[in-house]
Structure 1
């Protein structure tokens, strides 16, 4: 028997065995047929293996089906984490927020607050774009420090606050310079003044001060030229 016939027979045998179910996957057991303990084990294993879609499905089911169980509390936080590591920051933030609302005094509340801030932090845009995510991240990190000042996450939040403030100051400077270059000196002056008043500890405030003086000079000159001559 030549090799081609052997290959054909081998493939035919595989098809027969597969049809008999020898190589077929075991039937999927519905979530409602599984115990709470096995659900949590499967959810944790899925999360560990970065199968976040499966983890989300299981933790959501546990949270909805066993809302008053201790496992539901764990599932709520792991659900948020699964969304977070999937880079679905909108749903992650909502899930962390729900955990914080339901369990404000829980030992994991500082972590949930920090992660909620990080959901916005990861969406911080370049300085030429609207800085709403930066402001939201800053708000969450400040709240964490206020409510849990001794938490280890409060120390991390301080670092993130510094970065957020630097980004907001850079945005103000960028907009101020744009106004200055386009001859809108009054608008530029207001931006530079705001930067100096709110971010005086940052090095960029010295640059803003120099531009502020230039704006004043330009406005005085403009006002002088607008005066009627006699």
Structure 2
């Protein structure tokens, strides 16, 4: 065997392997060079340019690309003035696209970073609206409805003169009405099961927390029913008396009066009752 020939062949193989090894990263670099250059160009784009590009896309109705542009700005220039504006735009665009979770996240982040900003009222409005659009029907859990009501209530308390306040007030009433309706549904269920204490506790929530909703009339009648069934006649009479004083022409009062009258009683208000105090407190306010 010719050792010299073998040595030359081995050298040629080693050289070829080195060249191949060098060629692999060069090929990979060639494949990714365009993306790298794009990223580099993006990183060098001034924030005001990115922001204006996002606004232009938004004006053209290109909501998804606009949202992405604002997200990029927020990542590249966090805590900048343009990032602040981008968060508000992200909340709006995500809401408009039905991406309510993302809209809530952006709006909450804005409120955390800039609680005293002029757009804080709008951010709260977006949060409330996003939860409001997801409110389930009355047969299901109402956690989302509670969050919608909380957001609108906070908006009205902090920014009562905001341009968003009137609509927030309207939607707060609707959310409250649904929450009261849920309490009534559960209360009637317990009443039918003759679990009177559990039923009374549900109707009590309506009287205390949702007194301005359309459900309060029935709640007072159901309290009359529940207390009367338990033999707590004094509270049954008070519930009926308060019902008659506030809603004298309703069928609910007629039914309450009839229920008590069959047992030889009449509506009679006890000023020391929690029911009487609850309504007197509202009237004073």
Structures share a fold, TM > 0.5?
yes
Paired residues of 1:52 and 1:86 also in contact (CA < 8 A): yes
- The residue correspondences of 1:24-39 to structure 2 (distance < 5 A) are 30=38, 32-34=40-42, 35-36=45-46, 37-39=48-50
Higher relative contact order (CA 8 A, sep 6+): 1
Give deviations 1:130-189, integer Å, cap 9, x for gaps: 111111111111211222222112232222221111111111111111222233222112
Equivalences, count? 195
Q: Which residue of 2 aligns with 1:59?
A: 70
Q: Which residue of 2 aligns with 1:3?
A: none
Residue 183 (1) aligns with residue 194 (2): yes
* Runs (5+) with no aligned partner, structure 1: 1-26, 222-230
Q: TM-score normalised to the size of structure 2? A: 0.62
Q: Which residue of 1 aligns with 2:184?
A: 173
* Whole-angstrom distance in 1 between the partners of 2:120 and 2:191: 45
Q: Which residue of 2 aligns with 1:100?
A: 111
1:178 alignment partner, SS class: helix
Give deviations 1:93-147, integer Å, cap 9, x for gaps: 1100111121222211111111111111111111111111111111111211222
1:30 alignment partner, SS class: helix
* Whole-angstrom distance in 2 between the partners of 1:81 and 1:59: 11
Which structure has the bigger radius of gyration?
Answer: 2
Cα distance, 1:74–1:167 mapped onto 2, change above 3 Å: same
Dislocated runs of 4+, deviation >6 Å: none
Q: TM-score normalised to the size of structure 1? A: 0.76
Give deviations 1:33-66, integer Å, cap 9, x for gaps: 2533443333223333443332222111101112
Q: Which residue of 1 aligns with 2:126?
A: 115
Cα distance, 1:112–1:32 mapped onto 2, change above 3 Å: farther
Q: Which residue of 1 aligns with 2:170?
A: 159
Paired residues of 2:177 and 2:214 also in contact (CA < 8 A): no
* Residue in structure 2 matching 1:79, options 81, 86, 90: 90
1:42 alignment partner, SS class: helix
* Whole-angstrom distance in 2 between the partners of 1:178 and 1:98: 41
Paired residues of 1:141 and 1:161 also in contact (CA < 8 A): yes
Paired residues of 2:104 and 2:130 also in contact (CA < 8 A): yes
Cα distance, 1:30–1:40 mapped onto 2, change above 3 Å: farther
* Runs (5+) with no aligned partner, structure 2: 1-33, 233-285
Shift of 1:216: 2.3
Select between 205-214 and 90-99 the one with higher mean Cα deviation. 205-214
Cα distance, 1:43–1:31 mapped onto 2, change above 3 Å: farther
